[in-house]
Structure 1
Amino acid sequence: MISLGSGQLPAEATLTITYVNRLERNESSWQIEADLRRQLEALPGVTIADAYDFGATALSTIKAPVDIRLSAEDWRLLPAAAERVTAALQKVPGLSSVSVSWDANTTEASLVLNEDKLRTLGLTPDVVLAQLPLKGAAVASMSKLPTVGAIPVRSYFSEPYRSNPATLGLLPIPLPDGSTVSLGEISTIVNQPGLSLLTTNGNRYSLDVLGYRNTAPISVLSEKSLAAAQKVLPPGVEASDKGDNAAGSDSSKRMLTGLGMGILLLFGVLAPAYGSVALALLSIIILPLSAIGAVWGLLAFNKALALPAILGIVLLFSIIIKNSILMVDFIQERRREGSGAFEAAMESIRLRYRPILMTAFGTIAGMIPIAMQRAVGLERLSPLADAAIGGLLLGTVLSLFYLPMFYVWVSEKSVSREAEHESGL
C-alpha cells in the first residue's frame, strides 16, 4: 500500500509492505529494515528514509520509539535546532535512522500583487486569483477583503508553473474594459523558504526529531538521545522526551501505584480477618520476595522490565497471595484444634504442597509456549511469561517452606513476649 502525503507533508510518501511472518523467512525484521533503508536512500531526490516495523511504538499516538520534541516561541529557531539535534542523535549508538517531523528545506514562490497598479486598472485580488490555475482548476480566495492584505493562500500548481513559477507572469488577466494585462505586469514573484507543515504544542511551536532503533533498550536509548539533544540546543529552544520511554514510564508508575494500593487494600482485609497485623504482614511479605524470582527470570531470558513483565508480576502476585492465604488459614485452623505452631506448620506443608505445586507447574506449563515465542506476536508477551515462570519457581518455595518458618518464628516471638509480660507482672 502506498500513501502519498501521509496526511501531513505533500512531499512525503509512506509505503506499507507486508512480509510473511518471521517463522517463514530467514531474514529478521531488522535486516529487512536495513536493506530497505539502503535502497530508499539511493533513490534520487530522497532526503530522509525511515524503515520500521508496523506497530513500532507502544501507543498509536507516539510517533516513534525515540521522539525528542523541540519547542520554542519563535518557529524560525526550530529548523536550525533540529539540524543540530539530528546530527547529535545520529552519533548515538543503537539508533537505526533519524528524521524530523517537518523542516524548512522547501522553497515556495510568493506572488506579491502591486496594490497601486491594481487600483489604477480597477482590479481586485479576487479577480486576479480567479485566473490562477490550481492543478487545472481556478483558485478560490479565502478572504472577501478588497485589499491586497488578505489572508495568504498556499496553492499547488501543475506543470509548467510548478517547475518554472516565472511562467505565471504570462497569464492574461482580463480588465474591466475588455482588454487584458499579463500577471507579470501587476505582480512580482519572490522565492522564499517554505513550510509544508507547522505544528504547535500548547502555546509554543514544536518540531519532533524522530529516532528508530533495532535491539537497543529503549530506556537507555531515550536517555542518551535526550542528553545528546540538550547539549546542542540553541538559546530559546527546549527539548523533552515524548517517545516510548516517557509513555512507558508514566504507565509503569500508574500500574505500580495501582499495585501498591491493591496490596494496602489486601492488608486492610486480611488484618481484621486474621485478627492479627503480624499474620496479615506474613501473608503479604512473600510478594516482594517472589518478585526477585521474576527479575531472575527476566535476566535469564535476557528480557527488559517492560509493561508485559509488570503484568506478569501482577499475575504472579495473584497466585502467590492465594497460596499464602491458604497456608496461613490452614495453620490457624490447626492451631484452633490444639496443635502447636511447629506441628501446625508441618501439617500444612504435608497437606498443601500438592495443590500448590500443581497450581505453580500448571501455570508454568501454560507459560512455556509464550516464553519460547513460537507463534507470531508472542515476542511482545514473552516478558510476561518469563517473569511469571521465574517468580513462580521462587515464590512456590517461599510459600511452602519460608512462610511456615516465618509463622513459627512469629508465634514463638509472640509467646516469649507474653511470657515476659506475665513474669513482669
Structure 2
Amino acid sequence: MVERNARKRSAQEIIEDIRKKIPHIEGATIEFVDMGGEMFGGGGGPPINVKIFGKDLSLLKRISEQIASQIKDVKGIKDIDTSLRHGKPELQIRIDKEKAALFGLTVYQIGQEVRTATQGRTASRFREMGEEVDILVEFRNEDVKDIKDIENIPIVTPLGKCILLKQVAEIVLTEGPVRIEREEQNRKVSVTANIEHRDLGSVVRDIAKEIEPIKKTFPSGYSIEFGGEYEQMKETFITLGIAFILAIVLIYMVMTAQFESFVHPFVIMFTMPLAAVGVIWALFITHKAVSMPALMGVIILAGIVVNNAIVFIDYTNRLRKKGLEMCEALVLAGKTRLRPILITAFTTILGMLPMALSRSQGSEMRSPMAIVVMGGLFVSTLLTLIVIPLIYTIFDDLAQKIRVRTKKVIHGDEGKNRV
C-alpha cells in the first residue's frame, strides 16, 4: 500500500473491502497479516492463537475443529484456521505384529525392507582417484508407483522364505499433518484468527467463555492456552506494571529527600489516582484500547502529574514557615500558584495535541501515548487545586495528633521515672 499520509482509508478498511470482493474459491485459504505487529515486537502472526496441547494428533485435530466451529460466531472474529486442517496425503503401513511374528519378522526388519524398496539402500562405495561415490540399490520408479506395487514388495524372512508385504501389513491411504508442532516437548495444535473493530482483550474473554464447555470434556493430559499477541500483551503489561511501580517508588524517594518528610510526598502521590480518572476518560472518549503505547504514556504521566502538587505543597510549606496558619497558607498558595500551574499544564497538553491528532505513519504508536498524557494531566491539574488541599489538611491534622500523643507518652514515661 501507499504511505499512510497519501491515502484516506485505514489498512483495516482496505482489508474489509478486499475481503468482500474476493470470490469463494474451493480449497483456497486467504489470510490477511498485519505486519505492524512485527514492527512493534510481535511475530507478525494472527492476533488470536488458541494452543491445544495433548498426545494424540487425531484427537487434537478433532478438538481444534470443535473450537474453530464454536468461536466462529464471536463478534469481531475473522479468518479462523487450524494448523492441522490441511494435511498431506500419505500411505500408512499398519503391520500386524502377530502375523509378522509367525514368519519370524520384526517391525524394524519389515520397515528396512520397505525403505530399501522405496528410498534405496547404500550397498557399497565406488572409489576412484581418492573420491568415494555411494552405490544405491533401489526399486525402479515404475515398480513402486501405486498401492498395489507397495503391497507386493517382497520381504525375505530369517528362514529365507520370500513373502509379500500385504501378507503381514495393511496399507491405507490417508492424510497426515504437514508438520507436527511442539512446545515445551508437548504436541500442539493451534486455532488462529484475526480480529476487527474490537480490542484483543475482550475478544479473548468471549472466546474463553465459548470454549469453556469444550474444556470440561477434555481427557486427562490435554489443555488449552492463549498465545499469539494476547500472550505478548500479558507479558508487556507485567513488564510495564513493574516499571510503573518502580517509577512510583523512585518519585516518592526523591520527594522525601526534597521535603525531608514522609507525609507531604505521600500527599503529593494522590495526584496519580486523580490522573487515572483522566486517563480512563480520555481513552473512553477517543475509543482507544489499553495498549502498550497507552501504558508507556501512563509511566510518563507519573513523572509529570506530581509537578503541580510539588509546586503547590512547597509554596504552602514556605508560607507556614513565615507564620501563616494552615488554611491561610493553602488559600494563598492556591491563588499565587494557580497561574504557573495552569500555564505549565496547558503548555504540555497543547504540545501533545499534534501527536494525539496525527494520522501519519506510526501514529498508532504515538497517538494513544499522547492521549493518555493529555487526559491524565488535564483532569489531574483541575482536581489538584481542589483535592490536594483537602488531603493536605487531613494528613497534617493526623500528623499533628500523632505528635501530641507521642509527646504525652514520652513525658508520661519521664514523669513516672522521676517519681
Give yes or no for TM over 0.5: yes
For the pair 1:51 / 2:32, whether they are aligned, the reply is yes
- Contact 1:70 1:207 (8 Å CA) reproduced: yes
CA shift, 1:60, in A, is 2.5
CA shift, 1:398, in A, is 3.0
CA shift, 1:197, in A, is 0.4
For the pair 1:385 / 2:370, whether they are aligned, the reply is yes
- In the alignment, what sits opposite 2:244? 259
1:108 to 90, 94, 108: 90
In structure 2, the CA distance between the partners of 1:242 and 1:127, relative to structure 1 (3 Å rule), is closer
Q: Distance in 1 between matches of 2:143 and 2:359?
A: 57
- In the alignment, what sits opposite 1:373? 358
For the pair 1:202 / 2:184, whether they are aligned, the reply is yes
In structure 2, the CA distance between the partners of 1:88 and 1:392, relative to structure 1 (3 Å rule), is same
1:235 to 209, 218, 222: 218
- In the alignment, what sits opposite 1:15? none
In structure 2, the CA distance between the partners of 1:422 and 1:160, relative to structure 1 (3 Å rule), is same
Residue identity opposite 1:282 in structure 2: V
**3-state SS of paired residue (1:98):** strand
**3-state SS of paired residue (1:209):** strand
Q: Distance in 1 between matches of 2:198 and 2:251?
A: 38
In structure 2, the CA distance between the partners of 1:190 and 1:318, relative to structure 1 (3 Å rule), is same
Structure with the larger helix share? 2
In structure 2, the CA distance between the partners of 1:126 and 1:284, relative to structure 1 (3 Å rule), is same
- Contact 2:77 2:196 (8 Å CA) reproduced: yes
- Contact 1:230 1:239 (8 Å CA) reproduced: no
In structure 2, the CA distance between the partners of 1:314 and 1:160, relative to structure 1 (3 Å rule), is farther
For the pair 1:330 / 2:315, whether they are aligned, the reply is yes
In structure 2, the CA distance between the partners of 1:387 and 1:78, relative to structure 1 (3 Å rule), is same
The runs of 5 or more residues in structure 2 that have no matched partner are: 123-140, 155-163, 412-419
Residue identity opposite 2:53 in structure 1: S
- Contact 1:320 1:399 (8 Å CA) reproduced: no
CA shift, 1:205, in A, is 0.8
Q: Distance in 2 between matches of 1:37 and 1:298?
A: 30
1:201-233 per-residue CA deviation (whole Å, 9 max, x = no partner) reads 223210110010111121111111122223235
In structure 2, the CA distance between the partners of 1:112 and 1:421, relative to structure 1 (3 Å rule), is closer
Q: Distance in 1 between matches of 2:320 and 2:269?
A: 20
1:88-122 per-residue CA deviation (whole Å, 9 max, x = no partner) reads 12121210110112336331135899x9xxx9xxx
- In the alignment, what sits opposite 1:148? none
Q: Distance in 1 between matches of 2:149 and 2:343?
A: 82
Greater CA drift, 50-59 or 413-422: 413-422
CA shift, 1:194, in A, is 1.5
Q: Distance in 2 between matches of 1:161 and 1:62?
A: 46
1:7-52 per-residue CA deviation (whole Å, 9 max, x = no partner) reads xxxxxxxxxxxx1234433544234323444566633431x32223
The runs of 5 or more residues in structure 1 that have no matched partner are: 1-18, 133-137, 142-158, 174-182
- In the alignment, what sits opposite 1:4? none
- Contact 1:68 1:226 (8 Å CA) reproduced: no
- Contact 2:33 2:46 (8 Å CA) reproduced: no
Query: For 1:99-178, what aligned pairs fall within 5 Å after superposition?
Result: 99-103=81-85, 105-109=87-91, 165=146
- In the alignment, what sits opposite 2:383? 398
- In the alignment, what sits opposite 2:298? 313
- In the alignment, what sits opposite 1:300? 285
Q: Distance in 2 between matches of 1:61 and 1:264?
A: 34
CA shift, 1:269, in A, is 4.4
- Contact 1:107 1:194 (8 Å CA) reproduced: yes
Q: Distance in 1 between matches of 2:183 and 2:408?
A: 72
1:170-226 per-residue CA deviation (whole Å, 9 max, x = no partner) reads xxx9xxxxxxxxx99999975232121001122321011001011112111111112
**3-state SS of paired residue (2:265):** helix
For the pair 1:222 / 2:204, whether they are aligned, the reply is yes
- In the alignment, what sits opposite 1:7? none
- Contact 2:247 2:302 (8 Å CA) reproduced: no
CA shift, 1:160, in A, is 11
- In the alignment, what sits opposite 1:79? 61
In structure 2, the CA distance between the partners of 1:201 and 1:401, relative to structure 1 (3 Å rule), is same
**3-state SS of paired residue (1:264):** helix
Greater CA drift, 65-74 or 48-57: 48-57
How many residues of Structure 1 are paired with residues of Structure 2 in the alignment?
Answer: 372
Percent of matched pairs sharing the same residue: 21
Q: Distance in 2 between matches of 1:299 and 1:32?
A: 25
- In the alignment, what sits opposite 1:284? 269
Residue identity opposite 1:60 in structure 2: G
Residue identity opposite 2:355 in structure 1: I
- In the alignment, what sits opposite 1:96? 78
- Contact 1:56 1:64 (8 Å CA) reproduced: no
For the pair 1:341 / 2:344, whether they are aligned, the reply is no
CA shift, 1:352, in A, is 3.3
